């Protein structure tokens, strides 16, 4: 791993360890924005780590932002780092200036017209600006001039309703903007989930080593060992699929995104079930940090397309590309 990327990872991990604990995540689910966490990430340039300096970012490559997002997933960080990166990438590419502060983003259907009512907008109440994508048009809005109706998902994360009845700040065009939003958005969910999967594996192994039953740690029981081994295999496969997104830009290359979103989504179902089986009822209680990650995993799995949707993308790609591409399908999936 190149030195600058490792420095970004180490800095992000240190900030998240210092400013994102169980109490802060719980407070966010009760409506308190983790302002100190956001400020530290923003002041160190980590919220725009993958946006070139010439376009208003903190310089770096997409891998820098994706690694920060993965750590946010591992810590259940209740701040819109993923949304800000997606929005900034769209704005930078379209030539629109990137405003300071947290930004959220959403796609619109082709036939929607003002006034617009958009549901499930991540963190809208805590963001200063909002980017919408409609076909090839990218539009920047000031959220203070529009109405926000607060809602949450099952993880307690803001998924608000935004009523746009004001005038936009600026609009620009990117060919295929809607498709690129889905692609880069799915890549951020892959990274969030891969981070959270690593987090629940670490929690499950630690709990199995500490929890005694019949006079010995439950990690000594073969059934628990088998469960943890299966979970570790799922998490390892997910990490490998997510790592592929660090090697090619998801903005331009759809297949690594499709494979990773599909594989990591499958792992969420298996791994979260095993994690809760290992922890027992304790893992579901608000006093335990396991459910902070598993509830988010269940939500992120469906955002920007479920694994079934992305599996269809993979199938169509190889079926339409001809016999030569179809012959390479197995090697592509296994590699």
* Percentage helix, strand, coil for the chain under 3-state DSSP, each rounded to 5: 60, 15, 25
Given a contact cutoff of 8 angstroms between Cβ atoms, the answer to whether 21 and 79 are in contact is: no
Q: Tell me how crowded residue 209 is: count the other CB atoms within 10 A of its CB.
A: 12
Place of tokens 């197995």: 330
Domain-embedded: residue 131: yes
Same domain, 170 and 183: no
CA distances in angstroms from 7 to 39, 48, 49, 243, 269, listed in the order given: 19, 15, 12, 17, 33
pLDDT at res. 189: 98
Same domain, 171 and 182: no
Domain-embedded: residue 94: no
Same domain, 321 and 190: yes
pLDDT at res. 219: 86
Q: Terminus-to-terminus CA distance in the chain, angstroms?
A: 19
Nearest-angstrom CA–CA distance, 190 and 184: 10
Given a contact cutoff of 8 angstroms between Cβ atoms, the answer to whether 187 and 242 are in contact is: no
Domain-embedded: residue 74: yes
Given a contact cutoff of 8 angstroms between Cβ atoms, the answer to whether 304 and 189 are in contact is: yes
pLDDT at res. 323: 64
Same domain, 304 and 241: yes
Q: Tell me how crowded residue 30 is: count the other CB atoms within 10 A of its CB.
A: 7
Q: Tell me how crowded residue 182 is: count the other CB atoms within 10 A of its CB.
A: 19
Same domain, 133 and 4: no
pLDDT at res. 138: 97
Does this model's pTM top 0.85? My answer is: yes
Nearest-angstrom CA–CA distance, 10 and 119: 35
Token output for 182: 């889905």
pLDDT at res. 284: 85
Nearest-angstrom CA–CA distance, 27 and 47: 21
pLDDT at res. 207: 95
Range list of β-strands (E), the chain: 103-108, 116-122, 129-134, 137-142, 147-149, 159-164, 170-173, 212-213, 216-217
Phi, psi (5° rounding) for residue 279? -80, -25
The DSSP 8-state label assigned to residue 197 in this structure reads H
pLDDT at res. 324: 67
Nearest-angstrom CA–CA distance, 137 and 147: 22
Place of tokens 């994706």: 66
Nearest-angstrom CA–CA distance, 247 and 197: 21
Residues 118-134: tens digit of each pLDDT = 999 999 999 999 999 99
Domain-embedded: residue 124: yes
Q: Residue 56 sits in which domain range?
A: 1-79
Domain-embedded: residue 90: no
Conformation bin of residue 13: beta by default, left when phi > 0, alpha when psi is -120 to 50 = alpha
Number of domains composing the chain: 3
Same domain, 186 and 328: yes
Transcribe 126-150 into DSSP letters.
Answer: G-SEEEEEETTEEEEEEGGGSEEE-
Residue ranges of the chain with per-residue pLDDT less than 70 = 1, 322-326, 333, 335
Q: Which of 125, 155, 175 represents a domain boundary (last residue)?
A: 175
Place of tokens 């987090």: 199
Domain-embedded: residue 1: yes
């Amino acid at each position: 791993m190149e030195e600058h990327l490792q420095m970004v990872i180490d800095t992000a991990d240190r900030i998240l360890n210092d400013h994102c604990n169980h109490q802060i995540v719980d407070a966010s689910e009760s409506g308190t924005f983790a302002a100190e966490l956001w400020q530290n990430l923003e002041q160190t340039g980590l919220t725009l780590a993958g946006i070139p300096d010439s376009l208003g970012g903190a310089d770096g490559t997409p891998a820098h932002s994706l690694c920060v997002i993965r750590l946010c997933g591992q810590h259940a960080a209740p701040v819109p780092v993923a949304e800000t990166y997606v929005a900034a990438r769209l704005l930078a590419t379209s030539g629109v200036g990137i405003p300071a502060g947290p930004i959220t983003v959403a796609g619109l259907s082709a036939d929607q017209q003002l006034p617009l009512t958009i549901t499930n907008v991540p963190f809208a109440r805590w963001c200063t600006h909002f980017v919408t994508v409609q076909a090839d048009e990218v539009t920047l809005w000031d959220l203070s001039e529009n109405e926000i109706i607060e809602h949450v998902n099952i993880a307690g994360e803001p998924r608000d309703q935004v009523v746009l009845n004001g005038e936009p700040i600026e609009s620009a065009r990117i060919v295929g903007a809607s498709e690129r939003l889905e692609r880069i958005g799915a890549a951020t969910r892959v990274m969030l989930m891969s981070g959270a999967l690593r987090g629940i594996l670490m929690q499950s192994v630690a709990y199995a080593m500490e929890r005694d039953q019949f006079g010995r740690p439950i990690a000594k029981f073969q059934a628990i060992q088998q469960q943890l081994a299966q979970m570790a295999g799922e998490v390892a496969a997910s990490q490998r699929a997510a790592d592929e997104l660090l090697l090619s830009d998801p903005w331009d290359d759809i297949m690594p995104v499709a494979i990773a979103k599909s594989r990591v989504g499958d792992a969420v179902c298996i791994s979260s079930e095993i994690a809760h089986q290992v922890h027992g009822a304790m893992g579901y209680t608000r006093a335990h940090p396991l459910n902070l990650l598993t509830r988010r995993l269940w939500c992120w799995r469906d955002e920007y397309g479920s694994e079934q949707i992305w599996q269809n993308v993979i199938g169509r790609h190889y079926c339409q590309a001809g016999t030569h591409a179809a012959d390479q399908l197995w090697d592509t999936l296994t590699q």
